[in-house]
Amino acid sequence: WTLDLSGCNWQMEGIRPGQGEIEGFHRHSGSVAGSAFNWNGASVPGDVYTDLWRAGEIDDPHYGRNGMKAKWAMEREWWYRTAFKVPAAQQGRRFRIVFDGVDYSCDVWLNGHYLGQHEGMGSAFEFEVSSWLDVGDKAGQNGLVVRLNPPPRMYREVAGRKFAWHGDYWRTLTPMGIWQPVRLVATGPMHIADPL
């Protein structure tokens, strides 16, 4: 059983590096954003700049020198969050959250529990989440939170880590975002990750 967590049901907020945990952004348990923070809507797969453009926070990064005016976004950590329910029919299964690609470095929480960190744009990763997932029709929503760490400002710092010609915004803005799908996968007690 697979639940696709991609789509437009995400929210995002930027804040000074280190401040998000102090404010408790990681303790999201599935409720919508409170009035204390003005979280923007976001799409996954996607990227920070496109989400900011959709929200009216920056001008079209493709036009003129607007990319230069959006460089402030690289100074912040960006928090993405979503909520989802798991039906009672999945009770007793083993669960993992699978990320097909996050650019470039991130930390992940589920229902306030720290799952781990990942670095690398082109590599998929996953976390075993059975112990922290609320399952069942009477259970509340689950809150998934991803913190994107600020990217290197200069491409010379990115060299060797990822491809320098990312396409969408050329070299003005270092790319960052959850750029591939995210899903919750339920299996029996064992699964084969890679038969090769």
pTM over 0.85: yes
Q: How far is CA 136 from CA 5, 91, 95, 190, 195, in A?
A: 17, 7, 14, 21, 32
Q: Specify whether the CB–CB gap between 96 and 110 falls below 8 A.
A: no
Q: What is the pLDDT of residues 143-177, one digit of tens each?
A: 999 999 998 766 555 544 545 444 445 567 788 89
Closest CA relative to residue 140, chosen from 42, 26, 54, 32? 32
Instruction: Report residue 154 CA to chain centroid gap.
Output: 22
Mean pLDDT over residues 35-62, rounded?
A: 88
Q: What is the pLDDT of residues 12-42, one digit of tens each?
A: 999 999 999 999 999 887 665 454 468 999 9
Instruction: Report residue 102 CA to chain centroid gap.
Output: 7
Q: What is the pLDDT of residues 94-131, one digit of tens each?
A: 999 999 999 889 999 999 999 999 998 889 999 999 99
Q: From CA 90, how far away is CA 110, in angstroms rounded?
A: 18
**Cis status of the peptide bond prior to 104, with omega within 30 of 0:** yes
- Which pair of structure tokens corresponds to residue 44? 């996954």
| Average pLDDT of the chain, as a whole number | 86
Instruction: Report residue 73 CA to chain centroid gap.
Output: 16
